[in-house]
Structure 1
């Protein structure tokens, strides 16, 4: 009726176009139009002029008024949000900012951050700021970084949660920003310098890169700032930055029983903290993944029951929630994430080793069965790489397996790939540096410390440096561009030992041990939380060491 000018009783004059409308429709949609029509009604005017909005944007607003939908694009979103804010369409403003949140990138996050302050969307402003904080290194390389004011840059660089691999990134970003307009920005340089946590840098870097920089040489104020900042760190007046990612070690077998202990590893402080949420029951030989701010614990065993249950730990509220159960009970299960789905494969149900597999769709909140694997695999392990799932090794009830296979969700098919160089059950598998790593495990006789990598392009395996510790049924994850191997069973006892691998150096390095000896645990990495600091060393008292050097009574290959 509006488009055919049927029963329209007003005309909006916007830009270079006139729009016939129905007063009652506009009044019921917005207080702005209600006030406008009441105010000018005594003039008996049918035509109303609106300035500050283009005719193209007004056309979109009218579409929204009459249909509750609007075609939001990258090109029109800011103008549409501004117009919706002016005309008092709260839901349309929210829709625009939700669209902006989905479009965030290093190149536009500063612009969106500022725009959300102008139109007033605190949620989007916080979202964009957190994106800047989490992607700081990429943001520094973008043009908008140079448009920050000194106060804005101070606000960003002083944030405890600024995600940088090394504090030198912050120092070099400040130099980059200052040198862009040196004469105008030189005066603010000492203020910015005070936000760099020099106590986290190596002494060699400070000597060669910091103190010998042209902006600091023979500048007493700047040199004094560096010294003061270092003292503050050593005296613990200033905290270390919150790491962008935290490694969790969840559950497992300890002191002769399954446990519900969760420890968090802060790689910047090289320390483990107890972050257990006590209401969850113990479980071992389970899978765990981090998706959308929550940790999902899948399947497992508590000495009595083989679980098909799935529990979700909301990392923001630190509360456990029940999730729909799997079709099958799965102890020694292999679990991974691909897209917005959690995949659970193989395992042991208390009677038989399984080749079945299923997928949990987070949007639908339900499990579906997918094609079964070619082999029964219990105590195997898996990882996702380039849109496919790779599962390796395991135990079929008779022998440890050397085989491996790949699942393509597009075709719902499993394909056998080249076998590993050795049988491995209770191994750990992880995707790293474009390859699949098969680490440790049990070959039927010995616990292994050997490591091999699979190249999907050549369908071949190649040995790389071995771990220091032989281990099976341990946790593994990639964090800080390193592989972390956590705990496990060494053939004689459970261990709390942790080590990390650097693929560029092809070397393993000892890392701070966990506080609890355990095997049959599972690991995942959390990131992007608004409360990341809750899981860092600076927010936890020094740990109480719990030593428990017990033999593992329920190794998969000895279960029968």
Structure 2
């Protein structure tokens, strides 16, 4: 017999319990109401009553008990649930049933309530469900995952701004521990933290410094930090304002050719999915013109996709595409002289250099070509002293270095580093 469902026998006992000729041997008093029950039933489903009835204390032989902490309506709901074969759990009473099930130590009722909460969760009630799961030791990890997945939406459109500091702080910690520390999570935490404090600024500004210290400013957009720096809230927290100014100086966008200096782009995938991540909208945008195995380099805040190939084609592509990340506009550029993929690419002397790579499946290039701002086409430089594909090309001081690579596909990697381009030094 299960601890919750007593099926047909339970229904019969329930009818008999509420009838005039009752065989009940115990009475529970809640408020001004009395409930007659069977010790064998209550002891079977509840650890609370089991201990009461099997104790060696004189109270074990009593025929009634008074429960001051339980409402009469709650007790009636629980007994209907225990004796009948029909669930009485509804959205309006599930928390109340959980309270009673916790008090009487009835794990089966708690499990059914847990399953009900999971089946009826949404961004508008998930925080209350999560709080109940923590309070009553339900399947907390399930609610943790749901809240973490929908964190931004919950805090924007749900009830997140109304929760107290303890729960809000737990949510921020949960978000940091449940996923990698990256720009998306840090930016989201920063903006939501600010919004939560200002929702009730008089009461909540006392928590601002503690919450502010948890945000990784490295991944917050400079223009967002600049906006918040002008907020009058910071006038009361000069130490936080100083950290914002320091972060603005340290992480502000620059005109170098490091991808991280481009303010609107986080990840660029040169593969068949061809997706660009737009941090401002927390979404991926598709650019079908980008090619598989293309070279990617950024110069003067423009991102170039060079060469590559289409799908499984053996021949490599000549085409060059350029992306303005600030406008999310993709355009064409001058074509290469040779089709290339798996080549080396670097910025050297304010020009884009491309070296080696596969022209097609069975031929590896040793040639080098470059494109500068004042050139109308890609021009050749003297080639490397051997064929290489899969190499790295690195510019350092006045030299361009070719590192490792393979002479052709299927051959082991080269283990040496050579400066093949000393002759291009302008010293």
TM-score, scaled relative to structure 1 = 0.41
Instruction: Quote the offset at 1:176 in angstroms.
Output: 1.8
Answer whether contact 1:465 1:506 (CA < 8 A) is retained: no
Q: Aligned pair 1:91/2:117, yes or no?
A: no
Q: Aligned pair 1:212/2:34, yes or no?
A: no
Map residues 493-508 of structure 1 onto 2, 5 A cutoff: 493=315
Moved more, 93-102 or 35-44: 35-44
Following the alignment from structure 2 to structure 1, what is the Cα–Cα distance between the partners of residues 16 and 84? 16
Q: Which residue pairs with 2:313 in the alignment?
A: 491
Q: 1:29 aligns with which of 31, 41, 45?
A: 45
Following the alignment from structure 1 to structure 2, what is the Cα–Cα distance between the partners of residues 157 and 34? 41
RMSD: 4.8
Q: Which residue pairs with 1:119 in the alignment?
A: 136
Q: Which residue pairs with 1:277 in the alignment?
A: none
Map residues 101-500 of structure 1 onto 2, 5 A cutoff: 101-121=118-138, 123-124=139-140, 126-142=141-157, 144-158=159-173, 159-160=175-176, 161=179, 165=184, 167-207=186-226, 209-216=227-234, 219-226=237-244, 268=266, 467-469=289-291, 489=311, 491-493=313-315
Following the alignment from structure 2 to structure 1, what is the Cα–Cα distance between the partners of residues 248 and 328? 33
The 1:547/1:27 distance shift into structure 2, 3 A limit, reads: farther
Answer whether contact 1:493 1:549 (CA < 8 A) is retained: no
Larger proportion of helix: 2
Instruction: Quote the offset at 1:82 in angstroms.
Output: 1.2
Instruction: Quote the offset at 1:91 in angstroms.
Output: 1.8
Q: Unpaired runs of 5+ in structure 1?
A: 235-266, 273-426, 429-463, 472-485, 518-543, 551-560
Q: Which residue pairs with 2:16 in the alignment?
A: 4
The 1:199/1:86 distance shift into structure 2, 3 A limit, reads: same
Following the alignment from structure 1 to structure 2, what is the Cα–Cα distance between the partners of residues 103 and 487? 48
TM-score, scaled relative to structure 2 = 0.52
- Higher relative CO (CA 8 A, sep ≥ 6), structure 1 or 2? 1
* Residue deviations 1:451-510 (CA, integer Å, cap 9, x gap): xxxxxxxxxxxxx98624499xxxxxxxxxxxxxx9862633589x9x9x99xx885699
The 1:19/1:130 distance shift into structure 2, 3 A limit, reads: same
Larger proportion of strand: 1
Q: Unpaired runs of 5+ in structure 2?
A: 1-11, 253-264, 274-285, 294-307, 333-340, 344-357, 359-402, 410-427
Instruction: Quote the offset at 1:171 in angstroms.
Output: 2.8
Following the alignment from structure 1 to structure 2, what is the Cα–Cα distance between the partners of residues 77 and 545? 64
Q: 1:76 aligns with which of 77, 86, 93?
A: 93
The DSSP-based 3-state class of the residue aligned with 1:11 is strand
Following the alignment from structure 1 to structure 2, what is the Cα–Cα distance between the partners of residues 103 and 547? 57
Answer whether contact 2:33 2:72 (CA < 8 A) is retained: yes
The DSSP-based 3-state class of the residue aligned with 1:105 is coil
Answer whether contact 1:171 1:196 (CA < 8 A) is retained: yes
The 1:29/1:201 distance shift into structure 2, 3 A limit, reads: closer
What is the number of equivalent residue pairs in this alignment? Answer: 281
Following the alignment from structure 1 to structure 2, what is the Cα–Cα distance between the partners of residues 21 and 98? 27
The 1:217/1:103 distance shift into structure 2, 3 A limit, reads: same
* Larger Rg computed on CA atoms: 2
Answer whether contact 1:33 1:87 (CA < 8 A) is retained: yes
Following the alignment from structure 1 to structure 2, what is the Cα–Cα distance between the partners of residues 11 and 514? 82
